[in-house]
Amino acid sequence: MASDDVRIGGRKIRDLPKVSLHDHLDGGLRPQTVLELADQVGLDLPASDAKGLGAWFSDHIDGGSLEDYLEKFSVTVGVMQTREGLVRTAKEFVEDLAADGVVYGEVRWAPEQHLTGGLSLDEVVDAVQEGIEEGEDAADARGQDIRVGQLLTALRHNDNARDIAELAVSWRGRGVVGFDLAGPEDGFLPSGHRAAFDYLAEQFFPATVHAGEGAGLASIRSALIDGRAPAARPRCAHRQRPGRRLARGRGGAGHFRRPGALGPRP
């Protein structure tokens, strides 16, 4: 039986309404889109066709350390440095969620990784928001109702988490529904970003923290205490379909969130 035909109570699983709370924008690109955008910006890729690129990701994405895994995202992040690239990938991301039956989604990504084309932090968030809204409109035109909110990710090995927190709060009510902390984990406890988490708490702004992927209990404890993320959801989404989308999320990852991020796009 093809995976598209799996049914529960006579209904296709794909058609059932779903909520997606842990997807990474730079981990959900269509291989063909990566090829076309790479061609436009002159980026070398490890494969020359969509099938080969999907296979390369499938072969390389699992195994190795968290740091090795994160390195693979240089391929996708590399084609998301222009407004056009960000709008297109965000739009397609939403369309693909809708095709899977998702009615509410949160998509996380790190704005500071998308500045090499000369865009500002504000401009990259604006570009992704435009793409999300275009994707929602395209889904609506097909009779699919979906709302998607942004989670802005700060990188734990950098020292600008407070700036990203302020960026996220400044977009409250305009499409950003939360803050996230991610990146190389070992040696970079959430407590190192206490100023950002204190600010977010003062602003009553939802936060999520990756923890438990690349470090142990101390990291998880710091996520819960310093990140004030008392509700634990222990695994990242991991939905990989070679040939259609590149890897999304990482199996076995830990992720903790403060309650309140879930809700309709304002």
The site for Zn ion (CB under 5 A) is made up of 236
Give the distance from CA 69 to its chain's centroid. Answer: 15
User: Nearest Cα to 106, choosing from 128, 77, 84?
Assistant: 128
Nearer to Zn ion, 56 or 256 (CB): 256
Nearer to Zn ion, 27 or 54 (CB): 27
Q: How far is the CB of 238 from Zn ion (least distance, A)?
A: 9
Nearer to Zn ion, 167 or 236 (CB): 236
Q: How far is the CB of 159 from Zn ion (least distance, A)?
A: 21
Q: How far is the CB of 216 from Zn ion (least distance, A)?
A: 18
Q: By CB neighbour count within 10 A (0-12 exposed, 13-18 middle, 19+ buried), where does 264 fall?
A: exposed
Q: Do residues 56 and 31 make contact, with C-beta atoms less than 8 angstroms apart?
A: no
Catalytic residue among 106, 136, 185, 213: 213
Note if 213 is an active site residue: yes
Tokens of residue 201, six digits: 């708490």
Name 193's Cβ contacts closer than 8 Å, sequence gap at least 6: 154, 156, 161, 162, 181, 226
Nearer to Zn ion, 119 or 253 (CB): 253
Q: How far is the CB of 133 from Zn ion (least distance, A)?
A: 23
User: Nearest Cα to 161, choosing from 210, 194, 138?
Assistant: 194
Catalytic residues: 213
